[in-house]
């Protein structure tokens, strides 16, 4: 692979880091200035094209019921921010979240890296654009901008954040999720088996502190940051389908479906997520950030 050395911190830009781990001969560094954990080498554009070109998007797959329920719950939280009635999912995959938003009457838009995902989205009559096409969005066009599991993948974490601030209207909501580097899973599995550490897929590893730091740097105001979820799959399993598509499998999805279908288990999950957020140990960071209105800037 034609790797690109990442000498400075992707968040603060300083060259003041310490070695934290080694993964597949790649160094994981922690910035001593801002705390971001990141890989010392980023893949080239050619490597990224190879990795994500058809990754998991060879054919349309229906969203699991638990995922649909989770998205509907999230969309209910978004209702107070509905003014232009436009919502964007940046890094939308084949459009699972946007399908659920469309059911609630939102005018939905997606941005995707994978041509295969864009094709699948268009087959569902969902407007999914390439990164280049999305540059034509007007300033303040959206009420809500969502980035679900995006920031850990990108070589420039400031680029999508800058775009989110530009495209979001004043008073709008920016919602993002990313794996939590400080999750309880890291402590019981150890860094050498920590499943979120993958290369070239995951390049940046956030904590609650560093997620808030980058949001603040891009002029967002924190509403809340949750750290939710537990993982029972210490390792992800990659499976190649007959059409060449690579998909990720583990037992977590089966557990989520079981919980979704049981009232008692859903209550226990809610209690567990409250504890995980208080302690900061959940496997996923969920950030809710507001773009200040003009008279507050």
pLDDT band at 64 (very low <50, low <70, confident <90, very high): confident
DSSP-derived 3-state class of residue 279 = helix
Average pLDDT of 252-280?
Answer: 77
According to DSSP, the residues that pair with 247 across neighbouring strands are 239
- Asked if pLDDT for residue 288 goes beyond 50, the answer is yes
Of residues 294 and 103, more confidently modeled: 103
Domain annotation covers residue 91: yes
Please give the structure tokens belonging to residue 258.
Answer: 């079981």
pLDDT at 229: 85
* pLDDT-wise least confident of 52-66, 168-182, 217-231: 52-66
Residue 294 tokens read as 């003009």
240 within a domain of the structure (yes/no): yes
Q: What angle do CA 136, 138, 139 make, to 5 degrees?
A: 130
pLDDT at 22 over 70: yes
Greater pLDDT, 160 or 52: 160
Residues 96-101 have a mean pLDDT of 96
Q: Read out DSSP for 48-110?
A: HHHHHSSTT-SS--PPPHHHHHHHHHHHHHHGGG-SS-EEEEET-TTSHHHHHHHHTT-EEEE
Per DSSP bridges, beta strands 26-31 and 221-228 are unpaired
pLDDT in tens, 194-234: 999 998 889 999 999 999 999 999 999 999 999 998 775 54
- Kindly report the average pLDDT of the chain as a whole number: 86
Is residue 195 included in any domain, yes or no?
A: yes
215: CATH? 3.40.50.150
Kindly indicate the confidence band of residue 296, based on its pLDDT and cuts at 50, 70 and 90: very low
- Residue 31 domain-assigned (yes or no): no
Model confidence at 255, pLDDT cuts 50, 70, 90, reads low
Structural domain for 116, as ranges: 45-296
Cα(164)–Cα(70) distance, integer angstroms:
23
Residue 243 lies in a domain: yes
Residue 258 lies in a domain: yes
Q: Is residue 33 part of a domain?
A: no
What total number of domains does the chain contain?
1
**Is position 280 within any domain?**
yes
pLDDT at 2: 57
């Amino acid at each position: 692979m034609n790797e690109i050395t990442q000498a400075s911190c992707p968040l603060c830009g300083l060259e003041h880091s310490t070695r934290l781990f080694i993964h597949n001969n790649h160094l994981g560094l922690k910035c001593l200035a801002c705390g971001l954990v990141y890989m010392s080498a980023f893949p080239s554009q050619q490597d990224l094209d190879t990795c994500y070109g058809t990754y998991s998007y060879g054919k349309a797959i229906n969203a699991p019921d638990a995922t649909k329920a989770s998205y509907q719950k999230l969309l209910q939280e978004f209702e107070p921010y509905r003014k232009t009635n436009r919502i964007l999912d940046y890094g939308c995959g084949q459009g699972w979240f946007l399908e659920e938003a469309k059911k609630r009457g939102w005018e939905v838009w997606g941005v995707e890296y994978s041509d295969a995902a864009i094709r699948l989205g268009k087959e569902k009559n969902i407007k999914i654009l390439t990164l280049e096409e999305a540059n034509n969005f007007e300033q303040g066009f959206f009420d809500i901008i969502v980035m679900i599991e995006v920031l850990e993948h990108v070589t420039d974490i400031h680029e999508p954040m800058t775009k989110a601030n530009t495209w979001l209207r004043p008073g709008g909501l920016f919602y993002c999720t990313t794996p939590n580097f400080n999750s309880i899973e890291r402590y019981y599995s150890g860094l050498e088996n920590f499943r979120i550490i993958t290369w070239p897929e995951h390049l940046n590893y956030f904590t609650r502190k560093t997620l808030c730091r980058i949001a603040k740097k891009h002029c967002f105001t924190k509403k809340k940051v949750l750290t939710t979820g537990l993982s029972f799959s210490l390792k992800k399993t990659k499976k190649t389908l007959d059409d060449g598509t690579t998909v990720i499998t583990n037992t977590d999805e089966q557990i989520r479906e079981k919980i979704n279908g049981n009232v008692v288990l859903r209550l226990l999950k809610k209690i567990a997520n409250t504890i995980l957020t208080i302690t900061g140990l959940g496997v996923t960071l969920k950030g809710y950030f507001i773009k200040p209105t003009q008279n507050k800037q």
